[in-house]
Structure 1
Amino acid sequence: MAAVYDLKQRGQLTIFDSFDDLATDLAEYIAQLSEISVKERGCFTVALSGGSLISFLGKLYEAPYDKTVDWTKWYVLWADERAVSKSHPDSNYKLTKDNFLSKVPILNNHVYSINDNLTVEDAAMQYEFVIRQLVKARILNVSSINDCPKFDLILLSVGSNGSIASLFPHHPALEQSDDWITYITDASEPPPERITFTLPVINSASNVVVLATGEDKATAMHFAVDDSGEEFDASAVPACLVRPVDGKLVWFMDMLAASKLQLSG
């Protein structure tokens, strides 16, 4: 079972009774976006984050999606990555490869991970170059509002501190608007070196899904979703700053993450 709320400017919120229900609805949502995008553009561009998010993609490689999704049209990137080797337990690529990519027939040359042989600064610059090449090839559209790449879908999970991608509370990277990709060397959680999409890129996507599960996310979700007033410093909870400029925002939460929300209707 699930309860759905229209949050107006803050998007649409669905609260699920169980992880299985959440995974089932998430798979259907992604599959529908994939079908629409492939029909309209001939491809489906998706950027993933790490953490618990990947564990909720399991329904996508089960029936009927294992047969109905046109996996050959998918292009997969990462909204953030840790500056570690691809075989390191902290690697978002490894997590995704082991638990999702290895189970679906996405073409290897449609999967774009960071170069783990470079410094974090150079890796960020090279990853932005990769994205610019995808724009040049018209795999990625560009937002008419801010000239950022317009992903068909960006999937994000929220940290207990309200972080999204590798954008942490009060971090200067939240203010970055000149680059599509930035890097940090002082993440508040290990490992310290990471690359991340900047907020303008996240907010340029056609669709953004933000996933939050667990009681440790409840306070952050209250500030991100409820009206916290004009005095609230949104940089304290970066999830507050996810506001697609010309796209759709959808929140997927379990009951615990949503336990402090002030909802009606």
Structure 2
Amino acid sequence: MEKKRWESEGEVRFFESSEELSTGLADYVHHVSESALSERSSFSLALSGGDIPERLGKLARLPYLRTVEWSKWHLFWAEENVVPKRHPDSFYMQAKHHFISKVPIQPAHVVPACHETPGEAAADRYEFSIRQQVKDRTVPASPSSDCPRFDLVLLSLGPRSQVSSLHTDHPVLLEGSQWVAPVSVPGEQRERLTFTLPVINAAANVAIVASGSDVASAFREAMVDQSPMASSPARMIRPADGKLVWFVDAGAASLFSCGGTTASASGESDLMRSACM
């Protein structure tokens, strides 16, 4: 694994394989939880969909199964499909299958997004649930802009540069007061709920997983593209008073020299060499 840092994008951790990335991510989540619990009595973690639920399955194995203080964990969802709770496309159900059912987290500490309730009503209900559970807040710039301060938000980079369910040029990227918003997923009929940017950027720690060659262009765009940030939601993830860490495997980094190939654009070569040397 290699650790590099670009000031504007946070720390980037490179792994040779997806399996090594999963192990590194499990170590990181464990470390962040221990750090949070050294200062307070609970650890709040918000999950996204994509490959995050399956990767968290690592935490259901030794040594984490015995060393993590599971009774103090509180789980939330940064995005969710508006489908029945037991539907295979439910991110809650995926997390339950791969992770939650295999570790001793208290059921009352698992706070899934609202299922089946449509639109703004579902967003409002989930925001209310979060307010009941997450007591820490960021210092508000205005009375309407206070946000919950999650200890960690885990996100997965999509091939269209989306994170959580925040898509390129979507109006929800401009949302400044809601914590949770309903969105329509491009190319799909179903609706989703998503954390808004202020909530994600208020977290103490944010981790973004970039895995596979299908997200290589999106990862390069997030790192070096100079186009307006709204063209890449991933580039808009910039914790205001927290830390951002990228977890990247060789497939996602394949357009960088550290991914085993040569830079495809000469203007990027210096940054690629400094990142991967």
For normalisation by structure 1, the TM-score amounts to 0.93
Counterpart residue identity of residue 101, structure 1: I
Cα deviation, 1:212-243, whole Å, max 9, x if unaligned, reads 111110111111112x23xx122121101000
How many residues end up aligned between the 2 structures?
256
Matching residue of 1:104? 103
Native 8 Å contact 2:53 2:91 kept in 1: no
Structure 1 segments unaligned to the other structure (5+ residues)? none
Cα deviation 1:105-132 (Å, max 9, x = unaligned): 1110000112324223211110001111
CA distance in 2, matches of 1:208, 1:192: 27
Percent of matched pairs sharing the same residue: 43
* Equivalent pair of 2:79/2:195 in contact (CA under 8 Å): yes
Cα deviation, 1:31-70, whole Å, max 9, x if unaligned, reads 1111111121110000000111222112211111100000
In the TM superposition, residue 9 of structure 1 has moved relative to its aligned partner by 2.1
The residue number in structure 1 matching 2:7 is 8
Matches within 5 A, 1:14-93: 14-93=13-92
| Larger mean Cα displacement after TM superposition, 142-151 or 66-75 | 142-151
Q: Contact 1:156–1:209 (CA<8 Å) still a contact in 2?
A: yes
CA RMSD of aligned residues (A): 1.3
Q: Which amino acid aligns with 2:211?
A: T
How far apart are the structure 1 equivalents of 2:190 and 2:235?
Answer: 23
- Find the counterpart in structure 2 of residue 143 from structure 1: 138
Is contact 1:44–1:152 with CA below 8 Å preserved after alignment?
Answer: yes
Mapping of residues 1-265 of structure 1, within 5 Å: 2-135=1-134, 138=135, 141-144=136-139, 146=141, 147-184=146-183, 186-226=184-224, 228-229=225-226, 232-261=227-256, 262-263=271-272, 264=274, 265=277
Does the residue aligned with 2:59 lie in a helix, a strand or coil?
Answer: helix
Distance, in Å, in 1 between the alignment partners of 2:19 and 2:165 is 27
- Contact 2:4–2:13 at 8 Å: present in 1 too? yes
Find the aligned partners of 1:191 and 1:160 in 2 and give their Cα distance.
19
SS at match of 2:88: coil
Equivalents in 1 of 2:140, 2:65: separation in Å? 36
1:173-209 CA-to-partner distances (Å, cap 9, x unmatched) read 111111111111x211435301100000000000000
CA contact (8 A) 2:169 2:230 kept: yes
Q: 1:113 to 1:190 in 2, by over 3 A?
A: same
Q: Which residue identity does 1:244 align to in structure 2?
A: P
CA distance in structure 2 between the partners assigned to 1:117 and 1:13 by the alignment: 37
Residues of 2 paired with 1:159 and 1:98: CA distance? 22
